Structure 1
Amino acid sequence: MVYESSYETGRKPFTPDLQRGKWEKPTDFIFACCGLALKLDIFVISYWFFFDTRLFFILPYFFYMAIYMVPLLVIHSFMGQFSSSGFISAFRLSPFFKGMGYVSVFLSIASLLFYSIFAIVPLVFILHSLRPTMPWSCEGLGNVGNLTTVNAISILANETDFDVLHMTEIHIPSVLFFKQHFGSLGGGFISEKDDFQFSWTIVGFSVMIWGIIACIFRYYSETAKFGKLLRYMIMTALALLMMCLARFLFLPGALDGLTHYVKPHLDSTINGSLVMMVVVLQAFGSGWGSVMSLSSFNNFKTNIMSYSWIIAFGQTLVYILFGMVNFILQHYFRAMNVDSLDLYAETNWVLYLSSASALATLEWANLWTILYYSMLLISSLIVMITQIFTVLTSLFDEFEFLREHKERVTYGLIGFLALCSLLFCTKHGIIFFSAVSLDAIFTYSAMHLLLILAVLWIYGRDRFQRDIEFMLGRPFASWKVFTLRFIAPLFLLNTLLFGLFASFMKHVYESTLVLYISLFLVIIPLLFIPGYGMYITYQNTGGSCNRFRRACRPTDWYPQEMENRQQYEDVVGNSDLTHQLYEVTEEVN
């Protein structure tokens, strides 16, 4: 494979952004990537996986972490750090697959649209907690005997003889409080009509969230400042999480729940072996390619091998801590069922909605509610601003003309996201966003398989190993490359099939409109990747095979700093690099 410059392909050469900056501290990269684990919708959609978050449930996670999570983190980090560019321009490594970069922008924006609800909900509860009497507390409900309102419902217990078992559904007051914003309490969030009726209260909170994000980028758009902000936000969120976890231990039945959480259980480990293949993908954030863009702000010699392991274990700690909170709260509400088998507690979104009722039973309930939901709000903002930052970085790196209008582009993107996210301020959007989350499992698995194909097969095992050894200044074992080429794809194929099955089962029970939206967010992006590759191939000259080979060759693929670039050319050798002058001379002869 011969290295080419953009001049030879007729395309504009890559121009690095000299104003993009670096992290203030090397650990800012670790904090930014660990912050991606605060994508807490995994604890919402985990219901569909029968995910109880027990400690031994997470044991298979460590196996998958070693087999393909950390190796994939290394590939993402390698591409971003070596090229010093975001997840579009980094595919100069193999232009045929550059469509993956554009698809990443699309997927990141799509995920930001529905993820805004995870910031809206905490803000709703924070502002209502400032009132002397919280609406979901005993006093707020008019002292209706206890913390629950009860209504009788009937369900079929045996479909063969149609015996009817009468059960009592226990409605959690904080869940009812949130549903009231949509004017319908029965049948979940969705009614037969007015599915797209806006909750103007939620719309107002949405405007506040996007206003906060706009202010953040107004004062912290520079890389060093942004990294410092992320560092303090993540430390604050984890400190608040530890405080709330310690307080939750004094809830009735909490210690029993914690004991049950850490108790070894074979079924948990077996179930975790399937589910954790999906959870591993959460390490890369709510979009795709975030790690690639974040690593582009590292110094060229940053040891991404050790950093990837630190990030992996840091994210595992985040999952365990939130899993403990989730399990304690679930066990607290299950305690209502102990005395009677006829009781069923409706615990929707236990981390976000039901938890407010548990907090209302505590002394200084208003304070603890504000602290807890502030932690959730900060966590959601971390995910959102990191995703926006990586998207903007990738756009500015790829399109030179946008760099002159950074402020306009930034506010324009935030305004666009704020407008489009209004869909999720409706009844329909609130309940069906989980279908989009499940579809992402299939999409991201396919993207990672294509990434392995592009880097380790098209670009080549030898060149990848040579480049990463040059960048790190240390050997990169061949068995690691073998794991990436042959073993990791097998597990990613399983994850892809699991995601396809989960999406199919979810859409069976959803509306046709949601199916069309999912097809638009899944099928079209995946078709765009080979479509863009064919477009790049058509731009080249020669026969079909020669066009394809030239489309796959690296273009302007070298370190951006001149000193590192000269050293890289010495390592690669002039025979493996083509320059414009050399090509012109060759053609004349």
Structure 2
Amino acid sequence: MTNNVIRISHNVTSYDTGNKPYKHDFARGKWATRWDFYAVALSHCFGFRHFLMHMVFYRAGVVPIIISHILGMVFFMLPLYFTQMFMGQFSSTGIISVFRIAPLFKGVGYISLFLNLLSCSYFMVIAAFPLYIVFASMQSNLPWSHCSNHFNSELCVVIKPESVNTSWSSTDFYNEYYNKTLPTHEFLSFILNGNNEEMEESSRLSWRILLCTLLIWILISAVLFKGIETFGKIFRFITAASFICMLLTFLRILCVPESWEAIGKFFTLSSSYSRYLHYIVASPILALSVFGAGWGNVLTIASYNNFKEDIGKLSFITCFIQIFTFLITCICFTSIETYLEKHFGYMYFNYSHFDVISLQFVIYALYFSHLGWPQFWTILFFAVIFLTQFAEGALQMLTILTAIYDEYEFTRIYKNIVLGGLVGFFGFISIFFCSADGFGALKILYPIAGANKLVIILIELLVVLWIYGRLRFQRDVRFMTGKPMKSWKIWIMRFLTPIGILIALLYATVESFMQVRFISSLSLIVIFVFLFLKLTPLLYVPGYMIYKVSSATGTILERIRKLCVPNDWYPVDPIERRTYADYTGSTDINDLVHANVLTESVHF
């Protein structure tokens, strides 16, 4: 194999480039224990995204799911998670300042911040829905279990599981109840529209969802107000409560006879090889669930770790638990669907005008209303959904605030004002999404968000493993963790992982446009606006590169090389910085003066 030797500079300081030096905020704090990191990283395990992912792996069976999970973990989850862990923990900074590793790509940080701000404008509405169901469940009779509510119409019909002849075909059941509606159907319309007569007025504001959304924003501001240590302690409770409640719910679902029938189907081998291929191709999509709702969440929480934490161990444990919880959610939904299909026949009748997100809530509410102690189990299940959605939103806000405080030094003395201003702004913007039309528009935003996230992750891999370089990356990981990075792992991260990301990017893009035909005409306008806002900002990345190159001196090639050299890339702790300077052979990192230019051999 031919060895190609390329001379690349080791590191420079801000004085070399004329840029303003980075000043670390030592008051930003750290996690009290590593358990805080685990609590925050695993807080969204049972989020609504996991329950939507079953649609990708619908009736897959255990074998293709296990295959896709193993592939997803080895080739996508772990490499991507490890990369973001490295960037955050080594730099101890947020999603903008971390691009000191390659200043030419700093536009990626700004775009990540923009997308997080845009996502927060609607994300809490999704958390408001399960919160309202929790409140609505605190009644002697669940409002979606009968037709005696003031919002019910004459078409409302209650179907009891024991009254259904299981020998009916789906067609007979469909013909019998074609013009009927279930109480869950009308309850959802009531939440979104106010009353049953105005179901077509999709733009009508839902005050119930709006009030729950505003309450959530108040709670998020309270969680973030006291700093990172209090944030970690609160998340310990959120994550522990979510796991306990979900475990109890899972055990209760297993007590339903139809669940074992569903589990039997779940472990049945599929004879369709095309189905296996479909799930294998879709395996990169699983990697997105590890990162939660925002852009750079993992990088942000890793920046609050102690510098010497074993990022390999943290990454493996987190990804493994994420996969395990996803399997639990798949079993839960398969059991719920089997029960509803058996006792309600053509279960999706008269739901065609609802979006997928709303429909999922209807399905779960219908299922738990037919169990013993329906109020208790409904509250327990939707409390899990609410807690995990709330945790995702709070973590996304932490990512935004950390990026702002780390990059813009003057904001550090106005932290409470910045927090209050952002919460008030998002609360105001959320008003639109607290309507039927706005809530329906959320259907398309999930895959669009996924497409953007995949592009950003792909660029981060390029920056760390190709621009910064595999040898530097391996060296820094060994210095930080005390453990060497195997070359075969680097090979997977540099070649196989990017190929999988490109496949997933194509898959997510196609899926997002396929959903357009289910959206109302008014929502189409909204969707195209958000397509413009979410996809075109990615053009800012090359635009920022052009701006930085044009502002530098020298030939074009010299400018690009200079902007790809790490700038002030070193541990922020003075002791670790001095040790790192000795470890790398740089004699002047500690003094922030001209760094030595080293020659490094890069072997392809």
TM-score normalised over the length of structure 1: 0.88
Tell me if the contact between 2:193 and 2:436 (Cα under 8 Å) persists in the aligned partners. Answer: no
Which residue number corresponds to residue 5 of structure 2? none
Residues 53 and 411 (structure 1 numbering): CA distance in 2 closer, same or farther, change over 3 Å? farther
Which residue number corresponds to residue 250 of structure 2? 245
> Equivalent of 1:516, from 516, 519, 528?
528
For residues 38 and 8 of structure 1, what CA distance do their matches in structure 2 show?
A: 48
Which residue number corresponds to residue 507 of structure 2? 498
Q: Per-residue deviation at 1:167?
A: 6.7
For residues 329 and 568 of structure 1, what CA distance do their matches in structure 2 show?
A: 55
Matches within 5 A, 1:507-586: 507-510=516-519, 511=521, 512-574=524-586, 582=594
Letter in 2 for 1:372: F
Tell me if the contact between 2:448 and 2:509 (Cα under 8 Å) persists in the aligned partners. Answer: yes
Residues 55 and 227 (structure 1 numbering): CA distance in 2 closer, same or farther, change over 3 Å? farther
For residues 13 and 375 of structure 1, what CA distance do their matches in structure 2 show?
A: 44
Q: Is it true that 1:264 corresponds to 2:269 in the alignment?
A: yes
Matches within 5 A, 1:8-27: 8-27=16-35
Q: Is it true that 1:436 corresponds to 2:445 in the alignment?
A: yes
Q: Per-residue deviation at 1:357?
A: 2.3
Residues 109 and 53 (structure 1 numbering): CA distance in 2 closer, same or farther, change over 3 Å? farther
Residues 583 and 114 (structure 1 numbering): CA distance in 2 closer, same or farther, change over 3 Å? closer
Q: Per-residue deviation at 1:386?
A: 1.2
Q: Per-residue deviation at 1:196?
A: 2.7
1:162-201 residue CA offsets vs partner (Å, 9 max, x unmatched): xxx95744744223202112338999x984xx44321222
Q: Per-residue deviation at 1:545?
A: 1.8
Residues 307 and 145 (structure 1 numbering): CA distance in 2 closer, same or farther, change over 3 Å? closer
Letter in 2 for 1:183: N
Q: Per-residue deviation at 1:503?
A: 2.1
Q: Per-residue deviation at 1:491?
A: 0.8
Which residue number corresponds to residue 188 of structure 2? 178
SS across alignment from 1:388:
helix
For residues 397 and 537 of structure 1, what CA distance do their matches in structure 2 show?
A: 24
1:233-283 residue CA offsets vs partner (Å, 9 max, x unmatched): 111111001111222233462321232223333546443213332122221
Q: Per-residue deviation at 1:388?
A: 0.9
Which residue number corresponds to residue 161 of structure 1? none
Identify the range of structure 1 (421-430 vs 139-148) with the bigger mean alpha-carbon deviation: 139-148
For residues 582 and 551 of structure 1, what CA distance do their matches in structure 2 show?
A: 16
For residues 119 and 432 of structure 2, what CA distance do their matches in structure 1 show?
A: 13
Q: Is it true that 1:284 corresponds to 2:291 in the alignment?
A: yes
Q: Per-residue deviation at 1:440?
A: 2.0
1:483-503 residue CA offsets vs partner (Å, 9 max, x unmatched): 111111111111111122212
> Equivalent of 1:417, from 402, 426, 430?
426
For residues 84 and 362 of structure 1, what CA distance do their matches in structure 2 show?
A: 49
Letter in 1 for 2:391: I
For residues 104 and 333 of structure 1, what CA distance do their matches in structure 2 show?
A: 41
Q: Is it true that 1:118 corresponds to 2:126 in the alignment?
A: yes
For residues 57 and 236 of structure 1, what CA distance do their matches in structure 2 show?
A: 31
Identify the range of structure 1 (414-423 vs 136-145) with the bigger mean alpha-carbon deviation: 136-145
Residues 101 and 195 (structure 1 numbering): CA distance in 2 closer, same or farther, change over 3 Å? same
Q: Is it true that 1:306 corresponds to 2:316 in the alignment?
A: no
SS across alignment from 1:14:
coil
For residues 329 and 366 of structure 2, what CA distance do their matches in structure 1 show?
A: 18
Tell me if the contact between 1:9 and 1:539 (Cα under 8 Å) persists in the aligned partners. Answer: no
> Equivalent of 2:241, from 215, 227, 236?
236
Tell me if the contact between 1:167 and 1:343 (Cα under 8 Å) persists in the aligned partners. Answer: no
For residues 290 and 301 of structure 2, what CA distance do their matches in structure 1 show?
A: 13
Identify the range of structure 1 (228-237 vs 172-181) with the bigger mean alpha-carbon deviation: 172-181
Which residue number corresponds to residue 318 of structure 1? 325
Tell me if the contact between 1:126 and 1:370 (Cα under 8 Å) persists in the aligned partners. Answer: yes
Matches within 5 A, 1:363-402: 363-402=372-411
Tell me if the contact between 1:133 and 1:139 (Cα under 8 Å) persists in the aligned partners. Answer: no
For residues 463 and 409 of structure 1, what CA distance do their matches in structure 2 show?
A: 37
Tell me if the contact between 2:49 and 2:289 (Cα under 8 Å) persists in the aligned partners. Answer: no
Q: Per-residue deviation at 1:474?
A: 1.8
Q: Per-residue deviation at 1:41?
A: 2.8
For residues 190 and 72 of structure 1, what CA distance do their matches in structure 2 show?
A: 44
Tell me if the contact between 1:5 and 1:578 (Cα under 8 Å) persists in the aligned partners. Answer: no
For residues 540 and 331 of structure 2, what CA distance do their matches in structure 1 show?
A: 41
Tell me if the contact between 1:167 and 1:342 (Cα under 8 Å) persists in the aligned partners. Answer: no
Residues 197 and 119 (structure 1 numbering): CA distance in 2 closer, same or farther, change over 3 Å? same
For residues 591 and 551 of structure 2, what CA distance do their matches in structure 1 show?
A: 20
Residues 423 and 53 (structure 1 numbering): CA distance in 2 closer, same or farther, change over 3 Å? farther
> Equivalent of 1:196, from 171, 181, 203?
203
Q: Per-residue deviation at 1:538?
A: 2.6
Q: Is it true that 1:30 corresponds to 2:38 in the alignment?
A: yes
Tell me if the contact between 2:116 and 2:396 (Cα under 8 Å) persists in the aligned partners. Answer: yes
Residues 243 and 553 (structure 1 numbering): CA distance in 2 closer, same or farther, change over 3 Å? same
SS across alignment from 1:229:
helix
> Equivalent of 1:352, from 361, 364, 373?
361
Q: Is it true that 1:224 corresponds to 2:229 in the alignment?
A: yes
1:353-382 residue CA offsets vs partner (Å, 9 max, x unmatched): 222222222332222222222222111111
Q: Per-residue deviation at 1:57?
A: 4.1
Which residue number corresponds to residue 302 of structure 2? 295
Residues 145 and 42 (structure 1 numbering): CA distance in 2 closer, same or farther, change over 3 Å? closer
Provide the alpha-carbon RMSD of the alignment.
2.9
Letter in 2 for 1:146: I
Matches within 5 A, 1:129-148: 129-138=137-146, 140=148, 144=157, 146-147=159-160
SS across alignment from 1:230:
helix
For residues 295 and 332 of structure 2, what CA distance do their matches in structure 1 show?
A: 27
For residues 137 and 323 of structure 1, what CA distance do their matches in structure 2 show?
A: 25
Residues 581 and 501 (structure 1 numbering): CA distance in 2 closer, same or farther, change over 3 Å? closer
Structure 2: 5+ residue stretches without partners? 1-7, 162-169, 597-604
Tell me if the contact between 1:5 and 1:555 (Cα under 8 Å) persists in the aligned partners. Answer: yes
For residues 224 and 108 of structure 1, what CA distance do their matches in structure 2 show?
A: 23
Residues 109 and 51 (structure 1 numbering): CA distance in 2 closer, same or farther, change over 3 Å? farther
> Equivalent of 1:335, from 320, 333, 342?
342
For residues 79 and 37 of structure 1, what CA distance do their matches in structure 2 show?
A: 23
Residues 554 and 562 (structure 1 numbering): CA distance in 2 closer, same or farther, change over 3 Å? same
Residues 245 and 38 (structure 1 numbering): CA distance in 2 closer, same or farther, change over 3 Å? closer
For residues 148 and 591 of structure 2, what CA distance do their matches in structure 1 show?
A: 74
For residues 60 and 231 of structure 2, what CA distance do their matches in structure 1 show?
A: 32
> Equivalent of 2:114, from 88, 99, 106?
106
Q: Per-residue deviation at 1:336?
A: 3.0
1:192-247 residue CA offsets vs partner (Å, 9 max, x unmatched): xx4432122222222222222223223xx321221121122111111001111222
Q: Per-residue deviation at 1:524?
A: 2.2
1:117-154 residue CA offsets vs partner (Å, 9 max, x unmatched): 32111121111222223211237458955359xxxxxx
Which residue number corresponds to residue 587 of structure 1? none
Residues 102 and 365 (structure 1 numbering): CA distance in 2 closer, same or farther, change over 3 Å? same
Q: Per-residue deviation at 1:579?
A: 6.7
For residues 400 and 265 of structure 1, what CA distance do their matches in structure 2 show?
A: 57
Aligned length: 562
SS across alignment from 2:554:
coil
TM-score normalised over the length of structure 2: 0.86
Q: Per-residue deviation at 1:94?
A: 0.3
Tell me if the contact between 1:28 and 1:227 (Cα under 8 Å) persists in the aligned partners. Answer: yes
Identify the range of structure 1 (35-44 vs 83-92) with the bigger mean alpha-carbon deviation: 35-44
For residues 578 and 209 of structure 1, what CA distance do their matches in structure 2 show?
A: 44
